[in-house]
Amino acid sequence: MQLVSVLFCSPFREAPKIDQFRTEFDYQVEKNELEIKARKYTLGKWFEHYLLQKISGLSESHQVVYNILLNRYSQASQILQKNGYQKLALIVSSGQKNVQKGFKDLQGKLDVNIILKALEGNVEDLSRTNLFNNWLELLAVCICQAKTVSEGLERSSKLFKQEPTHFLYMLIKLYGQARKLDIEYVNKISFNCPTMCGFLLCQIFKRFYQQGNAKDKIFFESLQNRICCQLIHETQSKYFRQFYSGSTKWFHRVFGAEFEDASGNNKIQEYLGKRQLQQQDDVEGAFRIDVMEFAE
C-alpha cells in the first residue's frame, strides 16, 4: 500500500489536479514535460529506496552492481577499494562507461564480469544472472535508469519472460503510461489484488469520477458493493455495511449456496443491519479505515 500511496494519493483530499484524471476530456500527459519528470522522480525515488533496503544482505559483488545501477559510484568504489581493486575503483568512481578489456581478466574475490556489465548498463545480460529475485527488482532498475516511467516499462517488458499480472504492475503501468483513467482497467486491477486493497482503490478511484457520467457512477457503485460484500463475509465486521448500497444478489454470489434458503436470507439481512445481530462483532474496531487518513 505504500507504493499505491506514492502513485495515487497526492490528489485524493481534493479535486484532482493532475489532468490525466480529469475524466471529462481526453488529455495526453506526455505533452506535459514537467509532469513526466515529476512522475519519474517520484517513482524512481521509491524504487531506489526499495532496492537500497536489500543491498546490505547481498554479496559484495552484487552490492557493487546495485550501487552502480543506482548511480552510487562512490559507494561502489569504496567496496572495490576495500577488496584491492584500486584501478577499477578509480574508473567506477568517475562514472566511466567504456572500460578497458584488460579488466575482464582481473582475479580476486569479486565477480568482475558482472560489475563490468553493470558499468555498461547491460541490464539484459544482468537479468540472465541471479541478480534479480523477482519482477519488481528488475522493473525498479529499468525505471531508475530510464528517462521516463514509460521508457522504463517498455525496457522491462522486453526482459520479462512473461509480463507480470500482479496488481502493482498494473498500477505502475496506469501511472507511467499517463493515459486517461480506464474504468475497465480499474476493474481488472480490483480483481487481481487483496480484497482490502481493492476496497481502498475503489474509494480512491471513485473520487476521480465524481463528475463523471451516470454509467461510470453505476460501475463504481457496483464494484464497491461487490468488494464490500466480500469484506463483510471475510471479516464478519459491521463496519463495511455503511459502504454497501446494493441488493442481496451480491451476497448470494459471494456467500454461495448456504445463503439460498430462507435462513440464509435472514442471515443476509443481519449482515446488512436490517435485523438485529445476535452476537457482538469483536473485530469492528480493527477495520476503522479512514481513506483520507490513508492518503496523508
Mean pLDDT within 94-111: 69
Mean pLDDT within 248-271: 59
CA–CA gap between residue 274 and residue 259 (Å, rounded): 16
Question: Which residue in 196, 128, 135, 199 sits closest to 166, CA to CA?
Answer: 135
Check residue 232 and give its pLDDT.
78
Q: By percentage, how much of the chain surpasses pLDDT 70?
A: 64
Asked whether the predicted pLDDT for residue 279 surpasses 60, the reply is no
CA–CA gap between residue 111 and residue 40 (Å, rounded): 31
**pLDDT per position as a tens digit, 58-67:** 999 999 999 9
Mean pLDDT within 233-257: 69
Asked whether the predicted pLDDT for residue 211 surpasses 50, the reply is yes
How sure is the predictor about 219, in pLDDT bands with cuts at 50, 70 and 90? confident
Mean pLDDT within 130-159: 92
* Helix, strand, coil % in the chain, rounded to nearest 5: 65, 0, 35
Check residue 32 and give its pLDDT.
64
CA–CA gap between residue 233 and residue 239 (Å, rounded): 12
Asked whether the predicted pLDDT for residue 2 surpasses 90, the reply is no
Domain ranges of the chain: 28-177, 194-295
Check residue 195 and give its pLDDT.
86
How sure is the predictor about 51, in pLDDT bands with cuts at 50, 70 and 90? very high
SS3 at position 98: coil
Which one of 150-154, 241-245, 283-287 scores highest in mean pLDDT?
A: 150-154
Check residue 208 and give its pLDDT.
66
Distance, CA of 70 to chain centre: 20
Mean pLDDT within 24-31: 44
Mean pLDDT within 160-184: 79
Mean pLDDT within 179-184: 68
Q: Could you tell me the pTM of the whole model?
A: 0.72
Mean pLDDT within 261-265: 57
Mean pLDDT within 151-173: 89
Check residue 292 and give its pLDDT.
37
Asked whether the predicted pLDDT for residue 79 surpasses 90, the reply is yes
